[in-house]
Amino acid sequence: MRALVMGGSGTIGSAIVDRLLDDGYEVIVHYHCADIDVLQQRYCEQPVQFIQMDLTQDVHLENHLHFIKHLDCLVYAPGTALYGQLQDMSDTMIDTCYHLHVRQMIRICRYFTDQLRQSDSGRIVIISSIWGETGASMESVYSAMKGAQIAFVKALSQELAMTSVTVNAIAPGFVKGNMANVWTDDELTEIRNSLPQQRLIDPIEIAHTCSYLCHPLAKSITGTIQKVNGAWYL
């Protein structure tokens, strides 16, 4: 089995890579600005390949992805938060967020759809966000992009329903990792105390959910939004 994890060097992406390796997948890890030497050392002697690509820019997908054959699982996990009032968002900021979360996701899914259809258990998993469902003050642009991901999953799952390919999203709540690091310790304490479980979600919990969606027995689980949010319903 072969999986491609876009954003595989990030907090959630790397946890997914680790879990898919444990599940017996060969994994192709996409990264942007991570240290390739560190990545190669981390996955030394494991069935891992690497792709470097800046998804905020127009890229020729064939040049980067042409070597990938017999793909079974596509996970789209790149992303970064965008905090601030709408009137402070420049066109460049909006365009960058759109490219990263929506445009490239659609293009890459389009690129691999026919290939995934050749798999007995083709899987597309998009890492969205709780904000894609509820929206968030000071994150209107980010929320819009994550909401677009969810709409795309619901539509594409119907389009591919008569094939072997399932399409699902995971909508995490507040996850430990890079996005949480923008907050101070005091702010994180306040956020943690406001959560129903009073803890941040471990990225391995997202990876576990991804593993479940990629399992061959999950063939009827499609078009869903898997809420990994610790009862944080807003």
The mean per-residue pLDDT over the stretch 100-120 comes to: 98
The mean per-residue pLDDT over the stretch 89-112 comes to: 97
Q: Decide: 170 and 208 in contact? Cβ < 8 Å.
A: no
| Residue 164 confidence (pLDDT) | 97
Q: Of all residues in the chain, what percent carry a pLDDT higher than 70?
A: 100
pTM: 0.96
Average pLDDT over the chain reads: 95
| Residue 88 confidence (pLDDT) | 96
List, in order of start, the domains of the chain with CATH numbers. 2-228 (3.40.50.720)
Beta bridge partners of 222: none
Q: How far is CA 103 from CA 22, 98, 100, 128, 171, in A?
A: 31, 6, 7, 14, 19
Asked if 142 is an active-site residue, the reply is yes
Provide the CB-side half-sphere exposure for 222 (13 A, CA). 21
- Statement: residue 182 has pLDDT above 90: no
Q: Decide: 100 and 59 in contact? Cβ < 8 Å.
A: no
- Statement: residue 57 has pLDDT above 80: yes
33-40 contacts: CB < 8 A, separation 24 or more?
34/9, 39/9
Task: Show the beta-strand stretches assigned E in the chain.
Answer: 2-6, 26-31, 48-52, 73-76, 123-127, 166-172, 225-228
- Statement: residue 178 has pLDDT above 80: no
| Residue 184 confidence (pLDDT) | 82
Catalytic site residue from 25, 31, 142, 233: 142
The span from the CA of 62 to the CA of 2, in Å, is: 18
Distance from chain centroid for Cα 128: 6
**pLDDT tens digits, 184-197:** 888 888 989 999 99
